[in-house]
Structure 1
Amino acid sequence: MAAVPVLAACTAPESREPGPQDSAEPPPVTVEVGQPRDQYGKQAIQLLLTNVSGSSLTVAAAQLASPLFQGDIQWEPSGGGLELPPGQPKSLPARLPAPVCGPGQSSTQQSPPPGSTTQQPVATVKYSAAGQAGLREVAPVAADPFGVLERNNLELCLAADAAAVADIALDPRLEVAPDSRTAVVSLVITPKGTDGAGPDVRSMTIASIAGTTLIAEPADDPWPRNVRVTQGAPRSELHLRIRPARCDAHAIAEDKVGTLLPLHVNVGGREGQVKAAAGTALRGQIYDFVAAACARG
């Protein structure tokens, strides 16, 4: 965060809340970045706000600035303010804007992308306190202990590169075998057209397809590997035979990511996972199939 400019000795300093650069008193609200499993694939995170002031506050607005994204990450209040009692953290959902993408990187690497080590994410929280008129504002540095912003940046940049080569989606129809023990889900690949402006045609490789907490490949019918996809190529489909990955009672009831199919891809100098999400119709069919297959033993 940029340092506050030094004011001339003859000028009285502006009244404001202490920021992260003030050591005399910490800000009344701390902010931490998180992302529950049910937000994976939704391009959304959570801002965890904790009131450390000792008295009740009402939050009117909250946002986060990060060099990894093209704009502020904002919590949109549904109406009125959010009551924030002392010591009781509350999570605020926030959509991620478009990522800032640098040179090709792996979405599984541990080192952060350029810029994230020189500028930490900074939150802006507008709030009111009991007995005080008007809104006040603080700008604490936000903690991101699990690297949520870095991971989402890398994943979104990889997804953007992959989308420039082809649209990849799961067909909404599930073909269940007569014995209900296996089924076939189809991965539809529709390459983008070329602009015809030059010989530079982009491509990517689907190195492998991973199973999920709900579905897996049968041992005798493994899924395709090292599938090359090129701009301008015809539409194609990968037919994936699936079986239940687990049959415990909580498999479907507690599912969050079981219908997000991970594809390990290489594209544009980047390497990592993009996920093909089942739509509502297919998701219901997969749940029904897993339940039926598990019931047959």
Structure 2
Amino acid sequence: MLAVLLAATALQGCTPAPGQQPGTTATASASPTPDSPLTAELNQFRDNYSKQIIEIQLSNTTSAPVTVLAAELASPMFPPGSAWQAAPGGTEIPPNQTKSLPARLRDPSCHAPAEASADRASDEPTAAAEVHVSFRQGSATLDQRLPAADPFGVLARNYAELCLAKAAARVAVIGLAPGLEIAADARTAVVRLTVTPREAAAGTPERLSIERIEGTTLLAEPPETPWPRGVVVVAGGAAAEYRLRIRPARCDAHAVAEDKVGTLLPLLVDVGGKKGTLKIAAGAALKGQIYGFVTAACGAH
């Protein structure tokens, strides 16, 4: 598997509706099912970008509390089972407020690029998503299907990234080796990108191209030691290790304290004609070392 962090975080809380300022009254962003007190919207917190965890955001549009007992995503992009793990007794949404319910996406059933329709811009399913929700209000317990607004394209982005990762994994295992090599002056360091091709199957070996490696909110490429470009990886080929010298991309006071995605290294790849960004996550120990390096390097300036 690719070195992608998959630890789940079961967080939930009352929040203003997406895009609102704290303390304002929540308003629904999707038309409710007739007679439904709830509307649904999909979002994803930045610290869950590499974890396949999205937020089912349910808004209570009435003046009475609603207790949500279950919520599950229904989308042609993902098989059934992308559901919020409810606590016993569910969770209450106060009047005119929104609650975010985390749900881990199931692995998508991806189509090979050749299977995409020639007149389609992409091979992503396009039908609208729904949320199947069970809730209690007053003495009534109801099961309803709510249209789920997705204003930020959360499902399409996750579908594309996960399918690209699955395609790349058929060619090679790509990851970041543990251990950070820090230069004597503490201003730069080296991370090691490892590429281990899979065994070649019968027929033409599958291949991918790492067109370039991009920086992150924390890490940048030193101009004098550029990162490799145009790396071709072929199933059945030899393993390789690429030493990437890094420097801090920013040194403001909040760079490390507020980091969410700074240790996810983006690789722009082409896998059999499917192009996109493959995000390679640092393991827990390496992540901590990177944070320590950025803090020390910024302090040395």
How far, CA to CA, are the matches of 2:110 and 2:42 in structure 1?
A: 20
The answer on 1:271 being equivalent to 2:275 is: yes
Match of 2:111 among 102, 105, 114: 102
Q: Secondary structure at the match of 1:146?
A: coil
Q: Secondary structure at the match of 1:140?
A: strand
The answer on 1:56 being equivalent to 2:65 is: yes
Aligned to 2:242: 238
How far, CA to CA, are the matches of 2:124 and 2:161 in structure 1?
A: 15
How far, CA to CA, are the matches of 1:176 and 1:275 in structure 2?
A: 23
Matches within 5 A, 1:119-134: 119-130=127-138, 132-133=139-140
How far, CA to CA, are the matches of 2:99 and 2:272 in structure 1?
A: 39
Matches within 5 A, 1:87-236: 87-104=96-113, 113-116=123-126, 119-130=127-138, 132-133=139-140, 135-195=141-201, 198-236=202-240
RMSD: 2.0
Q: Secondary structure at the match of 1:218?
A: coil
How far, CA to CA, are the matches of 2:211 and 2:31 in structure 1?
A: 47
Aligned to 2:84: 75
- TM-score scaled by length of structure 2: 0.85
How far, CA to CA, are the matches of 1:241 and 1:232 in structure 2?
A: 28
* 2:133 maps to amino acid: V
Aligned to 1:4: none
* 1:129 maps to amino acid: Q
- TM-score scaled by length of structure 1: 0.86
Aligned to 1:39: 48
Aligned to 2:27: none
Task: Report percent identity of matched pairs.
Answer: 50
Q: Secondary structure at the match of 1:151?
A: helix
* 2:270 maps to amino acid: N
How far, CA to CA, are the matches of 2:31 and 2:154 in structure 1?
A: 24
Larger radius of gyration: 1
Native 8 Å contact 1:155 1:273 kept in 2: yes
Would the alpha carbon gap of residues 88 and 121 (structure 1) be closer, same or farther in structure 2, given more than 3 Å must change? same
> How far off its partner does 1:79 sit?
2.9
How far, CA to CA, are the matches of 2:62 and 2:122 in structure 1?
A: 33
**Deviations for 1:139-180, whole angstroms, at most 9, x for unmatched residues?**
111100111101111111101000110111101110000110
Aligned to 1:7: none
Work out the number of aligned pairs and report it: 268
* 1:280 maps to amino acid: A
Would the alpha carbon gap of residues 111 and 84 (structure 1) be closer, same or farther in structure 2, given more than 3 Å must change? farther
* 2:170 maps to amino acid: A
> How far off its partner does 1:27 sit?
1.8
Aligned to 1:5: none
How far, CA to CA, are the matches of 1:180 and 1:97 in structure 2?
A: 42
> How far off its partner does 1:100 sit?
2.6
* 1:86 maps to amino acid: P
- Unaligned runs of 5+ residues in structure 2 are 1-29
Native 8 Å contact 1:259 1:278 kept in 2: yes
Q: Secondary structure at the match of 2:170?
A: helix
> How far off its partner does 1:102 sit?
2.5
Native 8 Å contact 1:165 1:191 kept in 2: yes
> How far off its partner does 1:233 sit?
1.1
Q: Secondary structure at the match of 1:253?
A: coil
**Deviations for 1:205-262, whole angstroms, at most 9, x for unmatched residues?**
0000000011101011100000001111121101000001000000000000000000
Q: Secondary structure at the match of 2:146?
A: coil
Would the alpha carbon gap of residues 113 and 145 (structure 1) be closer, same or farther in structure 2, given more than 3 Å must change? farther
